[in-house]
């Protein structure tokens, strides 16, 4: 099964290359909570000054934030969400949803309850990822994956190197994971972990396949698989008894990360030009090519940044 290239060049990988970084995710979370000044990002995310300015510049370069001066002397800037940045809000809501379902929110650094304001009325907001065609709630097991063979101009090797050059070191990730084990940012804030997850979503199960198809060094792969097992996103199952051989399978908790992954993919397809589609994803329920929307479970409308209230600020 030669699918490494398809994993590395698909829209999910492209989105993760922009977003699959712990600090970037924290900055976007704060931007969605209404923060827009350097000092506010510093206070709430706890990011070191140099790293923060580096990530903010990257988000400006990607067109997710726009930088505007609000004081000339000394020079100070606001970082406001662009339309492209705001269109990631559904993804942020699904991250919140996953945290509230699977973790202790007191520790997670996310609001406890979201409320949706529509026409002067408010109700609790439970975000749902639905099929754009039949409007049924998206489930991992309802999607069929077909490799189309469409190739991108970028080689898997180049992308793999790009992931490698931007990844954080092993020791940093492990230390963070020990500190806050179980939170979604430990999974989606690390490019290698997200890549392993993306590969699991399209059917990779075995250690050798992850190693060969993704080109991940064995020590990093072993470290990330161990973390995904600890977090109960993957489970180890014996597929052969003599000699015993194991493979890594998605748990229900792991499968529940699928909607946010599809929301990233949808954002890339909707907002970034000329995305490559090496996989055809088909929603089995309606037979259409998969496209998703994130809606409010109560009123079925798409929540916008200004229409959502939080019970507390962090
Ligand atoms: Zn459908
Ligand atoms: Zn609503």
Q: Strands, E, within the chain: which ranges?
A: 65-71, 76-81, 114-118, 121-124, 127-131, 143-147, 234-241, 244-250, 279-283, 292-296, 308-310
CA distance 305 to 87: 9
- Give ion ligand 2 contacts, CB < 5 A: 116, 296, 298-299
Q: Output the pLDDT for position 171.
A: 36
Q: How far is the CA of 24 from the centre of ligand 2 (A)?
A: 28
- Is a pLDDT exceeding 50 seen at residue 210? yes
- Calculate what percentage of the chain has a pLDDT beyond 90: 47
pLDDT in tens, 260-284: 999 988 998 888 776 566 678 899 9
- Is a pLDDT exceeding 70 seen at residue 300? yes
Q: Output the pLDDT for position 232.
A: 92
* Pair 14, 52: CB distance under 8 Å: no
Ligand found nearest the CA of 307? 2
User: What is the three-class DSSP state of 191?
Assistant: helix
Q: How far is the CA of 264 from the centre of ligand 2 (A)?
A: 21
Mean pLDDT of the chain: 83
Q: How far is the CA of 113 from the centre of ligand 2 (A)?
A: 13
Residue with tokens 């699977």: 102
Q: Looking at mean pLDDT, say which of 1-5, 60-64, 189-193 comes out highest.
A: 60-64
Ligand found nearest the CA of 294? 2
CA distance 179 to 17: 24
Please, is 291 exposed, middle or buried when counting C-beta atoms within 10 Å of its C-beta (0-12, 13-18, 19+)? middle
Q: Output the pLDDT for position 169.
A: 40
Q: Output the pLDDT for position 106.
A: 61
Q: If pLDDT is split at 50, 70 and 90, which confidence band does 166 have?
A: very low
Q: Output the pLDDT for position 154.
A: 45
Beta carbons within 10 angstroms of residue 211's beta carbon: 15
Q: Which two tokens stand for residue 222?
A: 């072993």
Name which residue leads in pLDDT, 109 or 193: 193
Q: Which two tokens stand for residue 190?
A: 């690390």
Q: How far is the CA of 268 from the centre of ligand 1 (A)?
A: 19
pLDDT in tens, 13-25: 778 777 878 899 9
- Is a pLDDT exceeding 90 seen at residue 161? no
pLDDT in tens, 78-115: 999 999 999 999 999 998 888 888 877 665 556 678 89
Q: How far is the CA of 285 from the centre of ligand 1 (A)?
A: 5
Q: For the chain, what percentages of helix, strand and coil (3-state, to nearest 5) are there?
A: 50, 20, 30
Q: How far is the CA of 122 from the centre of ligand 2 (A)?
A: 8
* Pair 90, 33: CB distance under 8 Å: no
- Calculate what percentage of the chain has a pLDDT beyond 70: 80
Q: Which residues contact 145 (CB under 8 A, 6 or more apart)?
A: 202, 203, 279, 280, 281, 282
Q: If pLDDT is split at 50, 70 and 90, which confidence band does 56 have?
A: very high
pLDDT in tens, 216-261: 889 999 999 999 999 999 999 999 898 999 999 999 999 999 999 9
Ligand found nearest the CA of 143? 1
Q: How far is the CA of 292 from the centre of ligand 1 (A)?
A: 9
Q: If pLDDT is split at 50, 70 and 90, which confidence band does 174 have?
A: very low
Q: Output the pLDDT for position 84.
A: 93
- Is a pLDDT exceeding 90 seen at residue 38? yes
Q: Output the pLDDT for position 172.
A: 42
pLDDT in tens, 120-150: 899 999 999 999 999 999 999 999 987 665 5
Least confident of 3-12, 30-39, 40-49, 282-291: 3-12
CA distance 83 to 197: 28
Least confident of 62-71, 181-190, 217-226: 181-190
Characterise 34 by phi-psi region: left (phi > 0), alpha (psi -120 to 50), beta (else). left
Q: Output the pLDDT for position 138.
A: 97
Domains of the chain and any CATH numbers? 1-17+84-314 (1.10.10.10)
CA distance 313 to 309: 10
């Amino acid at each position: 099964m030669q699918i490494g290239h398809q994993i590395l060049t698909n829209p999910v990988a492209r989105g993760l290359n922009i977003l699959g970084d712990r600090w970037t995710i924290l900055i976007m979370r704060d931007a969605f909570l209404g923060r827009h000044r350097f000092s506010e990002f510093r206070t709430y995310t706890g990011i070191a000054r140099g790293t923060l300015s580096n990530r903010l510049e990257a988000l400006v370069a990607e067109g997710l934030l726009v930088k505007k001066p609000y004081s000339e002397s000394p020079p100070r800037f606001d970082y406001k969400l662009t339309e492209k940045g705001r269109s990631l809000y559904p993804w942020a809501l699904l991250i919140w949803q996953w945290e509230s379902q699977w973790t202790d929110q007191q520790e997670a650094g996310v609001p406890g309850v979201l409320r949706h304001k529509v026409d002067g009325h408010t109700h609790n907001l439970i975000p749902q990822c639905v099929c754009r065609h039949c409007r049924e709630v998206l489930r991992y097991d309802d999607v069929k994956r077909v490799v189309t063979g469409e190739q991108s101009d970028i080689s898997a090797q180049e992308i793999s190197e790009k992931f490698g050059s931007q990844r954080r070191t092993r020791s940093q990730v492990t230390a963070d994971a020990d500190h806050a084990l179980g939170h979604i940012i430990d999974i989606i804030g690390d490019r290698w972990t997200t890549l392993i997850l993306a590969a699991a979503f399209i059917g990779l199960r075995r250690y050798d396949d992850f190693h060969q198809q993704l080109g991940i060094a064995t020590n990093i792969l072993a470290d990330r698989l161990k973390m995904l097992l600890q977090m109960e996103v993957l489970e180890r199952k014996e597929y052969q008894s003599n000699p015993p051989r194991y493979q890594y399978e998605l748990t229900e908790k792991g499968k529940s990360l699928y909607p946010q992954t599809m929301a990233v993919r949808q954002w890339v397809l909707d907002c970034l030009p000329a995305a490559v589609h090496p996989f055809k994803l088909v929603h089995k329920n309606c037979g259409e090519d998969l496209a998703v929307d994130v809606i409010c479970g109560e009123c079925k409308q798409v929540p916008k940044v200004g229409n959502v209230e939080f019970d507390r600020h962090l």
